[in-house]
Amino acid sequence: MSFFTKPTKAKATATVRAKDDGHDRPVPWIENRPRSMTDVSAQEEVVQVLRKCLESQNLPHLLFYGPPGTGKTSTILAMTRDMFGPELMRSRVLELNASDERGIQVIREKVKNFARSTVSQNDSGRSCPPYKIIILDEADSMTSDAQAALRRTMENYSKITRFCLICNYVSRIIEPLASRCAKFRFKPLPVEQSKAKLAYICGQEGITHEAGALDQVIDASEGDLRRATMFLQSAHRLYTNQALTAPAIQEIAGVIPAQRIAELTSAWQSKSYEAIRTAVDQAVWAGFSAHQIISQVHDAVIDGAQWTSLQKAQLAQLMGAVDKCLSDGADEHLQLLNFMMQASKLVA
């Protein structure tokens, strides 16, 4: 079972066209989204409910939430395409995402004007619902003022306009907005499904991969199919005509080899400053980012059997403090050294 089925056809033509132009413009593989609701095969429950809505031509305001790369944007785009067809889509759908200016000013002018404009004439001959759709992608990055400005707009023009808010964290959407929408939760994709999809992409693009490489891709992308696809594409560019290996994927994803993490954690046991200093120096000189180190050490600690629950809790607290300092822009070398020294005091 694959998440997107048809898009490959579209992609194949796109690449061909690119070649014809003599244009070396790459087509991001991720832009091959499903064209129609029938193509969206994951997220069964959500899709089923939305199909029902489509049949009755009556749609509530929608709020999609879930982790990145689970198909939220793809689903709504496929749905609007089904509803309006490719031509009408242009006049009936307004899509705004975080890279567009979305302060309160824009909500008051652009969104409101679009919302209250009359529904464009339908002369394509297909039956389509008599309203427009405004998609606010990454809505959790909107300021709460901007969100508040939306409240009345949503109600006033609900006859001719439907809103679809898309976000990662439903808690960042103010309550009055959330209560006006039908909420849909998008689950992270099951590993088998993402793996099947990645294997499918590999097949289409002619990528050979060693055993374990795809697992590494899924692991590094943390269940985000978009990131996984990006990794595949970068890896393909960098290692053209070579079989993909797990270490190659790690390098591209910026993941630190498990062995290096083990070196760091084992340095705690030694309790000696010199051993810790060498381990830290090695890690810093190798160019790994401290954030990545901390987060991977964190994973290692949580899974590790050699620490007691109390130690794990204390370590977690410590990591939180260090992470905060790092985000504030503190020096990585000093922070890491401090973290390692403190951890060694806690553990040994």
Site residues (CB under 8 A) for another protein?
23-26, 98-100, 226-227, 230, 234, 237-240, 251-254, 272-273, 284-292, 325-335, 337-339, 341-342, 344-345
Q: Which is nearer to another protein, 244 or 290 (CB)?
A: 290
**Sheet of 62-65, strand order:** 93-96, 132-136, 161-167, 62-65, 182-185
Q: Which is nearer to another protein, 99 or 118 (CB)?
A: 99
Q: Which is nearer to another protein, 178 or 275 (CB)?
A: 275
Q: Which is nearer to another protein, 89 or 284 (CB)?
A: 284
Smallest gap, in angstroms, from Cβ of residue 236 to another protein? 11
Strand partners, 209: 244
Smallest gap, in angstroms, from Cβ of residue 128 to another protein? 30
Strand partners, 182: 62
Give first-to-last CA distance, the chain, whole Å: 49
Which regions of the chain does DSSP assign to beta strands (E)? 62-65, 93-96, 132-136, 161-167, 182-185
Q: Which is nearer to another protein, 99 or 121 (CB)?
A: 99
Smallest gap, in angstroms, from Cβ of residue 52 to another protein? 34
Smallest gap, in angstroms, from Cβ of residue 332 to another protein? 6
Smallest gap, in angstroms, from Cβ of residue 129 to another protein? 31
C-alpha 132/C-alpha 93 separation (Å) is: 6
Q: Which is nearer to another protein, 24 or 175 (CB)?
A: 24
Closest by CA to 89, choosing from 55, 52, 134, 47, is: 134
Q: Please provide the size of the chain in residues.
A: 348
Smallest gap, in angstroms, from Cβ of residue 4 to another protein? 19
Q: Count CB-CB contacts under 10 A for residue 18.
A: 14
Q: Which two tokens stand for residue 202?
A: 């590999």
